[in-house]
Amino acid sequence: MFPTNPSLCFLNFKPLLLELLVQPLYLFFPGSDCPPPEPLANGRVLGNVFKLDHQVHFLCSPGFQLMGPETRVCLDSQNWSGAQPSCKSSSSSSSHCPTSISTHVRASRCIEFLDSTHCTCEQGYSISSHNSTLCTDIDECELFRRTRPGRLCLHTCVNTAGSFHCECPAGYSLGRDSRSCHDIDECARATHNCSSEQVCVNTYGGHRCVEVDCPRIRNATYIKTSPLRCDRNPCIQGDNACFQAPVSINFHFMSVVSNMSTPTVLFRLSAARILGDTLRFGLLGNRGVQHFSVQRSGRLTGQLVLVNAVQGPATLELDIEMSEMERRVLLGRYVTKVTLFVSPYNF
């Protein structure tokens, strides 16, 4: 049996977000078009961008088995890769309107045509393998986990009745594309609780309140001249030990994502003014030697390069020294103390 009015079985469906979500990913990749893929009988074709290198996915209704490729790619030749798959029936079915309905199960819409009955489901649902009058929710999260991990949601995919949504870790907000996660800048939004003596450092997924103390270095004394800088107090004439101590100590805090590609220049430093004829740059001590290298990038500039990927979450500290020389005689040393906050995620 089937309803005289097919809309009796037509319930309120949430629109499937899939097309909306996936589409923005493709905006930057123009190319030659493939023809629209042939429709899949007893199944669905997912994907609505038919440009070079884009994919369409095939999904059979429950009760049907996919024969052929799950995915086809739009090739240079403006043809889809592989052969068109088909859905092979693995059960026979009858049709009538169901009455009891849960959120992940809906009634199918059945249409009578030339002595046969054809039941279809709204987007986000497919014909139940147990009962063809019912539509069951398609788990888009699971579907994409198998075919293209990470493409549906950057972080967590939550399947819902007829649809799905993406979620981000604490400290991130969901992007306008509804799939990506953007760090919330607590420092800029002033939602941090750093005191006035502290400096707020935004990190991926959070923030830190940092407060620097001038280091105690023998033979010289330091005074804090800005929240992130200490300068050496003047040395007594002839106190060579004092003149050998760093002229200034700068503090630099940075936030990076986990597993950054290498090599990556993290920042450059240069002298504000130069008295001598030569500048030398290097790592001070052996903190950070496994991950970083300090290289010259110009006559007056050096750069900190990440040479080996760092897996977060982690906090790394290292000291960079810049020495100013005049005819091989040291004029002054400048130390930059770097702290790197590495995100637990690669975003």
Ligand X SMILES: *[C@@H]1O[C@H](CO)[C@@H](O)[C@H](O)[C@H]1NC(C)=O
First-last CA distance in the chain: 54
Residue 263 in the binding site for ligand X (CB under 6 A): no
**Is 92 among the residues that bind ligand X (CB under 6 A)?**
no
**Does 117 engage in binding with ligand X (CB under 6 A)?**
no
Instruction: Select the residue interacting with ligand X from 32, 173, 219, 226 (CB under 6 A).
Output: 219
47-66 mask for ligand X (x: CB under 6 A)?
A: --------------------
Task: Please report how many Cα atoms fall inside a 13 Å half-sphere around the Cα of residue 232, on the Cβ side.
Answer: 20
Site string for ligand X, 173-202 (x = CB under 6 A): --------------------x---------
| Binder among 92, 100, 103, 196 for ligand X (CB under 6 A) | 100
Alpha-carbon distance of 315 to 344, in angstroms, equals: 11
Q: Which of residues 311-330 bind ligand X (CB under 6 A)?
A: 311
Q: How far is CA 221 from CA 231, 235, 241, 271, 297, in A?
A: 8, 9, 12, 22, 32
Cα distances from 25 to residues 2, 70, 131, 288, in angstroms, run 41, 20, 36, 37
What's the angle, vertex CA 347, arms to CA 124 and CA 317, rounded to 5?
Answer: 160
Distances (CA, A) of 8 to 93, 137, 168: 20, 19, 39
Site membership for ligand X, residue 237 (CB under 6 A): no
Rounded to whole angstroms, the Cα distance separating 333 from 35 reads: 66
Six-digit token string for 116: 């046969």
Conformation bin of residue 244: beta by default, left when phi > 0, alpha when psi is -120 to 50: alpha
Q: How far apart are CA 32 and CA 273, in angstroms?
A: 54
The minimum distance between CB 79 and ligand X, in angstroms, equals 4
Nearest-approach distance from CB 171 to ligand X, in angstroms: 10
Q: Does 77 bind ligand X (CB under 6 A)?
A: yes
Please state the closest distance from residue 235 (CB atom) to ligand X, in A: 11
Stretch that binds ligand X, among 110-118, 126-134, 141-149, 169-177 (CB under 6 A): 126-134
The yes or no reply on residue 159 touching ligand X (CB under 6 A) is no
Should residue 218 be labelled a site residue for ligand X when binding is judged by CB under 6 A?
A: yes
Kindly state the number of chain residues that form the binding site for ligand X, as judged by CB under 6 A.
17
Q: Which of 23, 32, 65, 79 is in the footprint of ligand X by CB under 6 A?
A: 79
Identity of the residue, 7 or 99, whose beta carbon is nearer to ligand X in the bound complex: 99
300, two tokens? 């007056």
262 touching ligand X, by CB under 6 A: no
Cβ atoms within 10 Å of 114's Cβ, excluding its own: 5
**Chain residues in the site for ligand X (CB under 6 A):** 77-79, 98-100, 131, 133-134, 193, 218-219, 241, 244, 259, 261, 311
